[in-house]
Amino acid sequence: MEEKYIKHRYEPILPSKEEWPVVKLARERKEFVKKVAEVSEERILSQTGNNPEILREELETTLYREKLRIKQNPWVVDPDDESEFWGDVKSSLLNVNGESKKAKRLQGYKAVLNKITNRYAEEIASNFKATHYKFTRSVVTYGFSRLLNAARVKGFKSLFSNQYTLQDKIQITGETDQIRDLATKGTIVMVPTHFSNLDSILIGWIISVLGLPPFIYGAGLNLFNISIFAYFMNALGAYKVDRRKKNLMYLETLKSYSKEAIQFGCHSLFFPGGTRSRSGMIESRLKLGLLSTAIEAQRANYQAGNNDISGKIFIVPVTINYHFVLEAPGLIRDHLSITGQERYYKENDEFSTSYKISKFLVKFFTKGSDISVSIGRAMDVLGNYVDENGRTIDKNGRQIHTRDYFMSEGQVTVDSQREEEYTNMLGKRIVEEFHKINRVFSSHLVSFTAFEMIKSENLKLDLFELLRLPEEDLIIDYQAFKEACQKVLDMVYELKAQGLINTAPHLNTDIESIIKHGMDNVGMYHAKRPLIRDEKGAITTEDMSLLYFYHNRLTGYGLEKLF
């Protein structure tokens, strides 16, 4: 990948906001919400086979879970009439259950289903307003720039300096021209890695810098608990995702919303990992629910006869690279408390108030740590690369037609099993691309090396025993550390030559400078630093769990075999 950074703001590819797909969708919001609800009903009824007893079970399961949620885990953002609505649902179900005729029971259950899917669709739908978007974009750019200049130029006047731009802080690299070209031809689905609550606003700013129209994206409903975040999320085109709701009816409505919006032509963004990486690793197991909606939308476009490039959907992987993640202590605690089983967890509260968000941003921008955003090469919904014209290219450089993969007996058909397989294939390809475009930072290098060195000295210990080692067993001789860092760096460059990873420019120097840079930056704002040098010059850690978190960024490349 060519090493170049965007040092300017691109001209918009659609200068008039009236041409933005999200604006068109906002104008038709009422009709769109109604359509999402109808499509959701169809999906649910097809899964229940129009069997009134199966449908009743799903409705009662939804009712039970929702009443439990209201009682055990209410949020500020929840509607005031939650209890009243679900009380009405309960009464309606009791009335329908007493009906003796099967056909009438089915009709009654469908009416209850309609009421629920309409509520969910309205709850999920974004409230995008172009005027709010432009204002928010200006505020984010101005505010971030002021903080950046305050960091780099001392004194009060620095707040009003323009000496540094955000592009000096945030390095945008990769296939930026391709994504701009393809956004004028078809529909983009951007799939970034996810490490911090800052990611959503950061990616929104990146989209704006690249001159792309606003994307829609799913944001956790918990973020709407906070007034300032709710404003930003709405203004940036977010639709709401409530992770507390695991029932079939909510999940199908959410997927219907995503699929219909993509088919409408809205460029879309979702974090395929589902939530922030608790371990610090690049996501390797993706949540395939929303990802499958891109494949469904592509098939639906072909079914509708939209076979030219305007009906094509392009998947664009993106990696976000930080030297430190403010939420890392809470994230790694969550990860370590999960012993391989899925379980419910409460969101960390690092961003629970507007004050905490403001404090975080000041901390973030008043440190000299850089951020890197890598735009990957675009793919079709099957994970094949596409060229600058959006044509799908196979491994031998030959053009292939994505539509052919959705055909059976000469026509485009619905095949759920086939599309599930395609979704799995696409998920694996996205993970591969994440690893390829991931950029190694000095902080990743030193953290990985230090943790592996400690681990290699304690091979009989499992992870949790390793994390509880006493301080005297966490000391690493500096010379040995330097030599190990060089070995890891050499292997990273071998992998880079094979196109399997990328590196930040600050690694193009001597190993002593790389180590110093990495240790200065890793976990720079944590109360306990992942890596320090003691008074004797040896390497040690103040928090083994945090060291493990930052080490994990380089797992999945086989670098462990060096130790």
Burial annotation 93-129 (CB, 10 A radius, 16+ → b, else e): beebeeeeeeeebbebbbebbeebbbbbbbbbbbebb
Strand partners, 190: 269, 316
Burial annotation 251-261 (CB, 10 A radius, 16+ → b, else e): bbbbbbbbbbb
Direct distance between the N- and C-terminal alpha carbons of the chain, in angstroms, rounded to an integer: 29
**According to the model, what pLDDT value does residue 357 have?**
57
Strand partners, 316: 190
* Number of CB atoms found within 10 A of residue 291's CB: 24
How far is the CA of 449 from the CAs of 103, 333, 438, 486, in angstroms? Answer: 67, 22, 18, 9
546 near 526, Cβ under 8 Å? yes
259 near 251, Cβ under 8 Å? no
378: left (phi over 0), alpha (psi -120 to 50) or beta: beta
φ and ψ at residue 502, rounded to 5 degrees: -130, 170
**According to the model, what pLDDT value does residue 165 have?**
59
User: C-alpha angle with apex 326: 167 to 548, nearest 5 degrees?
Assistant: 110
**According to the model, what pLDDT value does residue 498 have?**
97
Q: Which domains does the chain have, with CATH numbers?
A: 22-124 (no CATH), 127-436 (3.40.1130), 439-562 (no CATH)
Cα–Cα dist 267/194, whole Å: 19
DSSP-derived secondary structure for 504-545: -GGGSS-HHHHHHHHHHHTTTTSSS-S-EE-TTS-EE-S-HH
Instruction: Enter the pTM of the model.
Output: 0.88
Mean pLDDT by groups of 10 residues along the chain of 563 residues:
60 89 93 97 93 94 96 90 96 92 93 97 90 72 56 44 59 92 95 88 85 88 75 79 93 96 94 89 89 95 91 96 87 80 43 56 58 94 94 90 93 93 96 96 97 95 91 95 97 97 94 94 85 92 95 96 95
Strand partners, 314: 188
Handedness of CA 151, 445, 199, 12 (dihedral sign): positive
341: left (phi over 0), alpha (psi -120 to 50) or beta: beta
